[in-house]
Structures are given as C-alpha cells and as structure tokens.
Homo-oligomer: A and B are copies of this chain.
Amino acid sequence: MKKLFAMLALVLAAPLMLQSNVALAADTEKTKQVVYHFNKSDMNTIKAGLRNATNHVNSPSGPETAIEIVVHGGGIKMMTEARQDPQLAAAIDNLKANGVDFKVCANTLRGKGLEVSDLYYTDESDIVPSGVAYLADQQMEGWAYIHP
C-alpha cells in the first residue's frame, strides 16, 4: 500500500516537490526503512538483537532497507561494553560497514553520567535528544519498527 502511495505521490505531487529532491533520490536507493529499538541491558538480548540486524542486512530485503539501531536506557550497555568486548565491537563494526546507523539517546547519557567518549565508536552526530521520541518520529516518516 505504501508503494502505491509513493507512486501516487510521484505522479501527483511533482509541483510541490521543489525542496525535497534530495530525500526522494535517497528513497530510490533504500525503499524500505526500519528502526531497531535497543533498551534492555541484558547482554544476551543485545547480542541477539545485533544478530537480528545482521540477518536483516543479509536478507533478500537487505540491499533496499535502511536500518537504524536506536539505543537508550539499559541498551546503552551495548556501547559501553563494546569497548572491552571484541566480539561485540566486531558485530557493531560489521553493521556500520554495511551502512547501519546507530543513534544514541542524550537523555540516557545525562541520566547515567556518560560522555560520548565513554561509548564505543560513537560520534556527536549519532546523538539524538530522546531515543523514544526518535523512534516515534521515524515511524511518522514511514519507517517500520522492530523491538528485538
């Protein structure tokens, strides 16, 4: 159904689109989008979730799917533990090398007294003001949602 709307939009809304060419160009490469929600501190849950995302990348839908991993609350343990856990770090590296983006909640960092520099392979540009608001906002833009 969403594809039908996309078709409709392209056919009918051309005159309205002066400022959104860039976003639409990206859409033609990645026609599917999904946010993964990581908020549990249990390491088995975290590692299973990363395996899920890796399987998603390697699935038939992988090449056309933009994937973002949104980390907040207890899930932040993924980014702190990865500094001492080479297997965990490798899973994150591999996902990043395949174009998966990580987004980290600023509220969580503030609440736990963490700095960006305490997190594995995280940049200021990966920080979002609120992890949960980001998850909802992306869905409002048409992204799917998965809670591993």
Contact = CB atoms under 8 A, between A and B. Distances in A.
Nearest to A32: B140
A70 to B, nearest CB: 10
A133 B56 contact: yes
A37 B136 contact: no
A60 to B, nearest CB: 6
A60 B145 contact: no
A133 to B, nearest CB: 4
Contact of A135 (B8, B20, B139, B146): B146
A7 to B, nearest CB: 6
Nearest to A67: B136
B13 A133 contact: no
